[in-house]
Chains A and B, each alone.
Chain A
Amino acid sequence: MSARDNILRRLRAAPQGPLPSPPDVRGVQAALAADRPASTRAERIALFCEKMAFWRGEVVRVTSSDWPQKLRELCIAKGVRSLLYGEQGAHAAMLRTAGIVGLKPYRRPVEEWKAELFGDTDAGFTATRGAIAETGTLIVWPDADEPRLLSLVPPIHFALLDAGRIHDTLSQAIDEQDWRSQMPTNALLISGPSKTADIQVTLAYGAHGPKELVILLLVNEEELP
């Protein structure tokens, strides 16, 4: 008998009480939220910004026309000499119009340029699949064009977020975006820059991943500060 068979046999031999009814996750969550009115776009934006600020994420409001310029200004202000991005992405063409110095595409498999990625890349730019207001969280689904390490290795992560894609909760995001039928190889929730409190419960940022997370929040003109 294999280990697999032995383990499954032992589990199946265990006495079973009546099968508990399947958990009613949506029902309980609806009940917990029952005393709250449905959120508005403005409330979701406000809550997301508040929570993301708590995680030390920097939120910059931009519009669909000015974000590349805003990103260029941020890169200059932060002394970014090289910005890694995915060249096939929906925003790539726009990004290239801004004249950002040191713009470089993530074009080759990581094995071919690991040292450069780790040692000589100041910032990475990714799109996002949305966000979660309740916790101040970005949803990022890396893919062939915007690989996993784009949001992890460079010390600064710039993320473009459409304010219309902020969900109230993780459960709602999973439902509304129908995750279960299309899980990517890697899905990420990101709430602020990398951090640790492992030394005397003192918070320090930039443990292994980005030291800074900057969210370019795509809003309408009237939602600009």
Chain B
Amino acid sequence: MSAPALHELQFVPASEFKRRSATAVDDAHLRQSFRGAMDFLIGKRAAQFPDPAALERQRALAEQIRQYSLARLPDLLEQLERTLTDNGVNVHWAENAEDANRIIIDIAQRHATRLMVKGKSMVSEEVELNHALAAVGIEALESDMGEYIVQLDGEKPSHIIMPAIHKTKQQIARLFADKVPGVAYTESVDELIGIGRAVLREKFMSAEIGLSGVNFAVAETGTLCLVENEGNGRMCTTVPDVHIAITGIEKVVEKLEHVPPLFGLLTRSATGQAITTYFNLITGPRRPGEKDGPREMHLVLVDNGRTQAYRDQQLRSTLQCIRCGACMNHCPVYTRIGGHAYGTTYPGPIGEIVSPHMLGLNATHVLPTASTLCGACGEVCPVKIPIPELLVRLRVEGQHDAHPGRPPLRGQGAAKSALVDAVWAGWAALYTRPALYRAFGWLATRFRALTPSQQAGWTFSRTPMKPAARTLHEMMAARRRR
């Protein structure tokens, strides 16, 4: 399947999602890559949690830390702003993507920036920062190996932790040979990584600004925590003169002691690693006398729909997410269609529950339906987000006007259809009238030979469903008469 080009994304009409997912499931190559990679990650995660009881206690603690932090979110954000400011970090607030991009462009233009190197930041993808920077002539270069690869090919990440998981090494070898000057075709992964290293080291040296995401922001100390294996995050936050961090407002925790339990579950759930190579705690720019580190630091706090999720007690749990990606690794739908089919920055189960707040249900109402509610996501979520329940809730909000007394969600009721309403009204009428229901069963079984041979999506790959010769109700009634 060819990945959607940049900016075809961020709007997901049902027909588009269905077209993309249908193309994806027919792509044997893609199916095999995702299945293989997800199986690998599932196995690695499972090996990290040999004791189910201990895992449950860790999950309960992580859930409690996240819920406690969210309950105090406005206070903690203000505390974070104070401590960061005291540490010499400039704090900015962005209500939406445009705000965030404008803030970052302003900083960049103040420094006459030509090149911004980026560590892995999903929020910067969410606000489409690269596009906004390109529009004002600033090059934004992804430096995470996976992100570098997808950017080089004009694509977006297909997984939040493993952005280039959809590509084979042969495809990457071809890409490098075609796009990187002076590089010969090689399928050696070590050599390919060596090429990326060499290209990107040049860029780290020349970039005026480094941009990163944030995994946890600690309010009491004013510390930004970054989790990574490659070292590109450290490069971006250390080598350029200016460091801009961008994060969602939900990432704050009160205390430093709250970080280790979340960090431990994050890496184990994400890639089955007990810890990543680097855990980078940044508590301010270069101090007088220090010889490296950015001279100027900024944090951009992004809302972009998060306050909509926040104002509803049930939907608020969406914000507990620590972006480990375990829900997508374990999702049988994601495994079949890959990340690009979703059309949103965040794919898989977490994308299905978070995208409607960022983009509106009008643009995304099909996403919460792209699940069998099998529950695998909720089962592995390290912070115990009840993902299946949230999917059902968003289905309700897509199909209905706002509940009286509740403010509507953005795009509320966008999936409403008179036909579908009539189907469910008819269904309820039948199943609440036992005599009518039995009569229906009697007719359906007697006229089973007339069952249509085409049954909507069912017969796509199945023989038609046909009622039995007699219903259970009839068999039970006959038995009672005997």
Contact = CB atoms under 8 A, between A and B. Distances in A.
A and B touching (Cβ–Cβ under 8 A): yes
B234 A135 contact: no
A188 B293 CA distance: 13
B277 to A, nearest CB: 5
Contacts of A143: 290
A137 B281 CA distance: 14
Interface stretch (B21-29, B92-100, B361-369): B92-100
B287 interface: yes
Interface residues of B, number: 100
Contacts of A171: 257, 260-261
A183 B274 contact: no
A2 B95 CA distance: 9
Given A207-B197, A208-B197, A209-B231, A202 B189 contact: yes
A10 B311 contact: yes
A177 to B, nearest CB: 11
Contacts of A93: none
Nearest to B276: A191
A169 B106 CA distance: 42
B303 interface: yes
Interface string B275-310: 111111111111101111100000001010001001
Interface string A41-74: 0000000000100010000000000000000000
B283 A184 contact: yes
B220 A180 contact: yes
B229 interface: yes
Interface stretch (B61-69, B393-401, B429-437): B61-69
Interface in B176-212: 189-190, 192-194, 196-197, 200-201, 204-205
Nearest to A193: B277
Which one of A11, A137, A171, A174 has the greatest number of beta carbons of chain B within 10 Å? A11
B293 A13 contact: no
Interface residues of A, number: 80
B125 to A, nearest CB: 16
Given A149-B292, A200-B169, A185 B189 contact: no
B60 to A, nearest CB: 8
Contacts of B468: none
Given A170-B263, A185-B282, A206-B193, A11 B291 contact: no
A129 interface: no
Contacts of A55: 277
Interface in A143-190: 143-144, 147-149, 152, 169-171, 174-175, 179-180, 183-190
Contacts of B36: 201
Given A10-B307, A180-B255, A25 B162 contact: no
A114 B249 CA distance: 35
B40 A201 contact: yes
8 contacts: A118-B201, A148-B238, A148-B293, A188-B234, A194-B231, A197-B162, A201-B40, A208-B234
Shortest beta-carbon contacts, A-B, top 3: A209-B231, A198-B146, A207-B230
